[in-house]
Chains A and B, each alone.
Chain A
């Protein structure tokens, strides 16, 4: 029963006040609107009014109230319809709707909830009931919004730290690469410098002999000549080896700056990557590589450096999985299947537990130790848990897919399916 002073509300047609929560009252009955305005304003809310469905929708759009009190029985557009509109629009769906109803039939109430209303108050209006329900739903809305905001912030934090970790993963890869490169470059450099030292020694012996005016024996001269030519030959071969290494590095370096998709031969990229990975001593000498590439030239539309990155991840994982295996073998094969090219990388390591087959593509899932902790797992391996996640992203960007299998016979297999490029016309 209304206990408030209803009449006094007449002049209080103030619009929404800043800072107050705003409630839209929708009723075709002027007296009801007045009564509700009074109840709500006395509770400290700002009140907006609408006298029919159309007006209600316009006000919601324009003023974004925090809650809508909605009469069901209205001419032209009834409350159910208004509610349906509000809940169908992503801008307004989160605004709680409370029906005002004289209908006591449970079927009508169910209909109200079905169109998305949060609650109802019954006519004749009970002041305490209206206050209680409005208060509860506004509280709920505030809490929901806080959670939503919190979630968004959290997502942002996660996105930031993912970026950080992706950077760390890339940096780690670069670090490893540089170490491999340096080790590889030192080999031919040692030979070259050694060859020069030997040449210089022979030259100084010759100069010495000339200065002393002592003619060296034919045998001595012959040996110097043979040694000098051998030293030159060794130096030249080592220089060529250095040149080749630098060339392949340059190619890789330039490719990294191209982010557009180009037509490239997958087999060629695989062979290049295998050649490049031979910088890794363990990979070069200890692991048996079983390479079986399709005889056709599998041309795909891709970024070659991303494909190389995917391969390097898959081969790196396979290598890690093979740590301590008695006869480590990695099989790499390509096969054309319809309009796609299938690339399979298989190892004969311990395999992947079935329950982990899906998880391994999730970001931050890793069976290796986290590098930032400075620790290593039992096999001495570290990972950020982003390698396969990034592989999946790259492959998807090329319109392909990647999946993992762990056959009961042992080992792990990764299959990458990429659409072949259409023939150039």
Chain B
């Protein structure tokens, strides 16, 4: 992977965050985690993140609202949502608002989340290569 992507984990349960950090510990990403979705969004505005993995049911801000805000702030940021409250509406809304994937808690196997993230990272690699080549071409032509 050419890029060391930055990933932000958002969940109001600190233990889950610690577990996820451990699950990603062998991966090449720069992992940050935060329990407060409001602060999470500020962080996303201030620093660049490539992937955000967020819980849906959080007290300060609904994960779906966070998803919407992220996608309207920067559509390139890939968002994976997690939820313990499984409903059709939650799931459909998540995709409607632009999530790339959804995971139900407790996870069947937390490694699946890591694998899905790897796949998204690979796709980002590819998108970046294409975009860079396009921008590069434009640059030559200018």
* Residues on the A chain within 8 Å of B111, using CB: 197-198, 201
Chain B min CB distance to A90 (Å): 60
Is A183 part of the binding interface, using a Cβ–Cβ cutoff of 8 Å?
yes
Render A181-212 as a binary contact track against B, CB cut-off 8 A, 1 for contact: 00100111111111101100100000000000
Residue contact B59 to A234, C-beta cutoff 8 Å: no
* Residues on the B chain within 8 Å of A286, using CB: 59-60
Chain A min CB distance to B80 (Å): 15
Contact for B109 among A188, A189, A197, CB less than 8 A: A197
Contact for B16 among A190, A197, A223, CB less than 8 A: A190
Render B78-95 as a binary contact track against A, CB cut-off 8 A, 1 for contact: 000000110000000000
Chain A min CB distance to B8 (Å): 18
Chain B min CB distance to A388 (Å): 27
Residue contact B22 to A282, C-beta cutoff 8 Å: no
Is A285 part of the binding interface, using a Cβ–Cβ cutoff of 8 Å?
yes
Interface size class, chain B: 20 to 34
Chain B min CB distance to A317 (Å): 20
Is B34 part of the binding interface, using a Cβ–Cβ cutoff of 8 Å?
no
Is A237 part of the binding interface, using a Cβ–Cβ cutoff of 8 Å?
yes
CB-nearest residue of chain A relative to B59? A285
* Residues on the A chain within 8 Å of B139, using CB: none
CB-nearest residue of chain B relative to A285? B59
Residue contact A193 to B106, C-beta cutoff 8 Å: yes
Count chain B CB atoms within 10 A of each CB in A187, A194, A195, A285 and give the residue with the most: A194
Is A170 part of the binding interface, using a Cβ–Cβ cutoff of 8 Å?
no
Interface size class, chain A: 20 to 34
Tell me the interface secondary structure of chain B in the complex.
loop
How many angstroms between the C-alpha atoms of A329 and B15 in the bound complex?
Answer: 28
CB-nearest residue of chain B relative to A224? B26
Residue contact A194 to B57, C-beta cutoff 8 Å: no
Is B105 part of the binding interface, using a Cβ–Cβ cutoff of 8 Å?
yes
Residue contact B16 to A191, C-beta cutoff 8 Å: yes
Chain B min CB distance to A277 (Å): 13
How many angstroms between the C-alpha atoms of A282 and B57 in the bound complex?
Answer: 11
Is A28 part of the binding interface, using a Cβ–Cβ cutoff of 8 Å?
no
Is B73 part of the binding interface, using a Cβ–Cβ cutoff of 8 Å?
no
Contact for B110 among A189, A198, A241, CB less than 8 A: A198
Is A12 part of the binding interface, using a Cβ–Cβ cutoff of 8 Å?
no
13 contacts between A and B (CB under 8 A): A183-B57, A183-B85, A186-B105, A187-B13, A190-B106, A191-B16, A194-B19, A194-B20, A194-B110, A223-B26, A234-B19, A281-B57, A285-B12
* B contacts, CB < 8 Å to A: 12-13, 15-16, 18-20, 22-23, 25-26, 57-60, 84-85, 105-107, 109-111
Closest 6 CB pairs of A and B: A285-B59, A186-B84, A194-B110, A194-B19, A281-B59, A190-B106
